[in-house]
Structure 1
Amino acid sequence: MKEEDQRYKMVRFGAMVGIVGNIFLALFKGAAGLLADSRALVADAVHSASDVVGSIAVLIGVRAANLPPDRDHPYGHGKAETVTAIIVAVLLFIVGFEIGLNALQDLGNPITVPKTAALYAIFFSLLVKEGMFRYKHFLGNKYNSDALITDAWHHRSDVFSSAAALIGVAASVAGAHWEIAWLLYGDLAAGLFVSILIMKMAWTLGKSSIHNALDHVLHAEDTTSMRDEVKKIEGVLQIDEFLAREHGHYVIIDIKIAVDPYITVSEGHQIGKNVKDLLLEESKVKDVFVHINPYEKENEKGGTL
């Protein structure tokens, strides 16, 4: 199986794990929250439901990113995953805002104390979500998928929200048991805290994805080994310019090399081909565009044509 096909298969599987897992958790926490009368648990269920939409978006983005280059998209469709990551981040922010708004509105209503059963439901959810986060984060890093990494952090935000809900519900139950009035607000406070946490995480992930979408170029220290290897190729007298652009999960390189101005066009073409073939051996490099410049001593300090 080709490496690209293997990547698509595993990233798609990761997205499917998210969809199935989140559907189960959303239904489980929603039912448990209503039965146990816990606003924090219901808010957590809404968060899991939003994860279902996010995972479906990831699945669509991964499929689009795997499409081969065409006339309208000669560089491929790799940025589809980055666009999907932005959509998931926006969705996450909206969900966080809604949860916070509901928590603030509930402050004016009579305080209800959740049943102890809510604690067990939240703890179970926390364990499942942490497992989903670790698995999808591993796959996202292994296959360099922005969308899958963002969706993994979506799961981690659910872990944090479940932890906050656990503390809040426990505080409310303890407040009712020991008749401590201010602890009764623990469930509502947890819902508000979860909303702030979700919005902050959404902002961070969205900012990172937008940065990657704007033709981010790898820093010089990230491409040192590749440039050093190119300099070893016979006929390459100088690298005038080296730009490695992130295009979703892969990289496209634009390189300008200086060669002896008195060799034939055919010889210059062969040197350029050798450079391209070398760089394509890098696992993340999808395509390479080589421009040949005539070598001149005055250009030794980085002049380009």
Structure 2
Amino acid sequence: MNNESFKSLKKGEKAAKYSAYTNLFLALIKGIVGVLSGSVALIADSIHSFSDIFSSLAVYVGLKISQKKPDQKFPYGYYKVETLVSLIVSLMIVVTGFEIAFESFNDFLNPSIIQFPIISLLTALLSLVVSYYLAKYKKNIGHEVGSQALINDGKHSLIDVFSSLIVFIGIFASYMGYVSIQGISGMLVSILIIYIGAKLGKNDILALLDASIDPDKVELIKKIALEVEGVFGVHEIKVRRSGPYIFAELHLELKRGVSVKKTSDISMELEKNVKNEIYELDSLTVQAEPLQKNYQIIGVPLKNDLGLSSDITTHFGKANYFMIAKVKNGSIEMFIIKKNPAVIAETKKGIKAAELLKKENVDILVVDHLSEGPKYVLNEYLMGISKPNGNNLEEIIIYASKSFEN
């Protein structure tokens, strides 16, 4: 876990702690006023707020444990504790929905007369406003630090807004003489609450089972990978969420003959680019594979232009010509011979010759020796290098194509 990740979890932990304190305040206020006014709805809402305290504490504990560094027993870290806590919060939302449904049905059958209606209305209104801003705060911090548990807890607080609204409507309706309205509206809202809780819980279960629940992230990673110089294909992209973080793996298709260093450079560049776009990415596992092609393009430096009877030269940059041959199924399918534009150059002949081969999409260069400049350029172009081996030009080209087969 890097320093930024640690700071994010600490920020989420602080938000969960503030939430617990706020819910304690609301529970005490609603409980006291509910008992004094005889409002069953306020008392029930007070009990609901007490359950919210445990919900916020669960998120706090989950984020606290998630900060523990990976160890021998948990080499992938403790991030899933946060997802587990998120599932617990989702279940509590569902339970809250059934609780409100039961209380609303009971209030519909046995409506009560409320004492001190103005104080009760102000208490319900205070609870509504505080719950709204608390929900907004937790959801914003949750999205900022990538904590699904905190986001879910924010949605739980948003449900408290509906709950307080029901209490407010019920008290106001009772004050106006319509004593049954609170029960009816409460039962309707409870259905919405149960649905939201079940939906959130489903996503948490899928995350715990390492299901791929974010296809947009898969497409984004694929797009970023294909933009990296040297990547010709990408497949088997797997993305899983563990707590507030994302773990991804993929297979890259690179040209044959790519050096280990160049492969490492490409992987590091890809990981850096993905992390710039997906801040919650913890790690990206890259497996490089040779590009799957049923043919090879072979480049050979020549002294003269005599077709397959041409003579190979050992001077790469000073070669008069280059043969560009397409080899498929162990035989030369076609070839062209191109004049080397670098011959007339006064400096950097080898580098300019290498640029010609790149333009012709050459996979493998047949050459006995290269100086450092052209060698570096060809390595950057992911071009394989094969030493001449054979009795004639055709045999040399066929050998070069086979030296880089899977």
Q: CA contact under 8 A between 1:169 and 1:186: conserved in structure 2?
A: no
How far does the alpha carbon of each residue in 1:109-164 deviate from its partner, in whole angstroms, 9 at most, with x for none?
5x421121211111111111111111111111111110111101111101011111
| Counterpart position of 2:209 | 214
Letter in 2 for 1:77: Y
Partner residue of 1:258?
A: 253
Q: Is 1:17 matched with 2:13?
A: no
Please report the TM-score for the alignment, with normalisation by the length of structure 2.
0.65
Unaligned runs of 5+ residues in structure 1 are 176-182, 300-304
Aligned: 1:287 with 2:283: yes
CA distance in 2, matches of 1:164, 1:151: 20
* C-alpha contact (below 8 Å) 2:97/2:190 kept by paired residues: yes
Q: Which has the higher contact order (CA 8 A, sep 6+)?
A: 1
Once the two structures are superposed, residues 186-217 of structure 1 have per-residue CA deviations (whole angstroms, 9 ceiling, x without a partner) of 34445544544432332232223223333243
Residue in structure 2 matched with residue 67 of structure 1 by the alignment? 68
SS of alignment partner, residue 253 of structure 1: strand
Tell me the distance in 2 between the aligned counterparts of 1:134 and 1:4: 22
| Matched residue type, 2:242 | H
CA distance, structure 2, for counterparts of residue 169 and residue 83 of structure 1: 37
| 1:184 aligned onto 2:179 | yes
Paired with 1:225 and 1:209, the residues of 2 have a C-alpha distance of: 22
- Structure 2 vs 1, CA of residues 75 and 278 (structure 1 numbering), >3 Å: closer, same or farther? farther
Q: Which residue of 1 aligns with 2:113?
A: 113
* Matched AA of 1:9: K
- 1:277: how far off? 4.5
Change (3 A) 1:201 1:43: farther
Q: TM-score, normalised by structure 1?
A: 0.85
Q: CA deviation at 1:279?
A: 3.5
**Alignment deviations for residues 219-257 of structure 1 (CA, whole Å, 9 cap, x no partner):** 554344543443343443322332232222221111111
Q: Does 1:249 align with 2:214?
A: no
Is the partner of 2:72 in helix, strand or coil? coil
* Maintained 8 Å contact 1:43/1:191: no
**Structure-2 residue corresponding to 1:179:** none
Q: Is the 8 A contact 2:107 2:182 kept in 1?
A: no
Any stretches of 5+ residues in structure 2 without a counterpart?
A: 296-405
2-structure distance, mates of 1:197, 1:35: 31
The percent of aligned pairs where both chains have the same amino acid is: 30
The residue that corresponds to 1:240 in the other structure is 235
1:47-196 alignment runs, 5 A limit: 47-105=48-106, 109=110, 111-115=111-115, 116=117, 117-175=119-177, 183-196=178-191
Decide which structure has greater strand share.
Answer: 2
Question: Aligned partners of 1:192, 1:36: CA distance in 2, in Å?
Answer: 23
Change (3 A) 1:218 1:259: farther
Q: Which amino acid aligns with 1:247?
A: S
Distance 2:152 2:43 in 1: 23
Hey, what's the Cα distance between the residues in 1 that align with 2:153 and 2:173? 30
Q: What is the root-mean-square deviation in Å for CA atoms of aligned residues? A: 2.7
